[in-house]
A and B are shown apart, each in its own frame.
Chain A
Amino acid sequence: MNDVAGAQRINGEQMLKFLRSYGQIGVFVILLLVLSFFTPRMLTEVNLVNLARQTSIIALVAAGQTLVILIGSIDLSVGAVLALAAVVFAGVLQDGFSFPVALLAAIAVGGAAGLMNGILVARFRLASFVVTLAMLSVAKGLTLIYTGASPIAITNPTALIMGQDRWFGLPAPIWLAIAVYLVLWVVMRATIFGRYVYAIGGNEEAAVLAAVPVVRNKIYVFTIAGVLTAFAGAVLASRLGSAVPTAGDGMELIAITAVVLGGISLLGGEGRVWATIVGAALLNLISNALNLLNVNSYYQAVATGCIVAAAVLADRYLRASTRR
């Protein structure tokens, strides 16, 4: 092969690699510009802040899912655990306890659910799909038992801060999401836990043979996912001013969609944590635009599904062409 062709091929490969790593951001920006052309209200401050706030809630919910997907598993119990944590949060507040106690209680519930998932998946080697499907049912049932299927209002003013206040001009959930992702980013990049998560997802057998404590780290991942989900539930309840037992319905699919749209491989081991924020933003942007365009919500669901499929298809193509 001559040098010019070789150089071009390498440039082409680098381009594809770049697209694979940062393509979603490009898609997001282009989509934003195109949509703003059709809907003048898109680029108004109100709409953008609104968009960011919705994105932050989804991003919080999808943070745990990201870790779980990075180890090559899946967590279907996200929505149900989120609702359970939210009602526990509101219920403990209603019983007269202070905000920190309520938050800790919610996180403990979420962490326990995640720990259970983790033990069953890692220690007893059950499929995460089935384990978390069972957890979904259990958590959903517990939520209904706890609430009698009616919402619990939050009246404690301190508890409403993290959902409803503005800090430095932006809604608090946005800052909370940023904080969570900053921590996750550092953890995944610089700590041994992060290294192990990628190794387990990339090739579990290789990780076992390299003396990586696979079982323990998988349990950590599911537990952390439970904690993050519970935190998201508390933030959501705080934002809405009440915990609704059905608040988490379908949330697991939204979380998985955000992760996938962010370009994180469902096979595990590949993808960056921040990509989930971009995925969540993309997902929101699509529904936001369809709203502004007055598209019937039934059609919106169809459109979202098609867009997700197209995104995954593009991702697969880019992945296949950057690897042999």
Chain B
Amino acid sequence: MRCPARAHIAYAVWLHTQDGFGWTNGVALWLLERYAQSFARELREDGELGDLANQ
């Protein structure tokens, strides 16, 4: 199952190749590998998922 939070930030996979600030993207992805479920739950509770809430 796709995690909306992961999808929301994972555009960074592409950005990682685009310039020198892959570290922000890389760290975000590394953290999402470990905490995606709790982060998604937090976003849902905070109402910050926006259009992705129904994915």
Task: State yes or no: do A and B come from one complex.
Answer: no
B residues apposed to A, CB below 8 Å: none
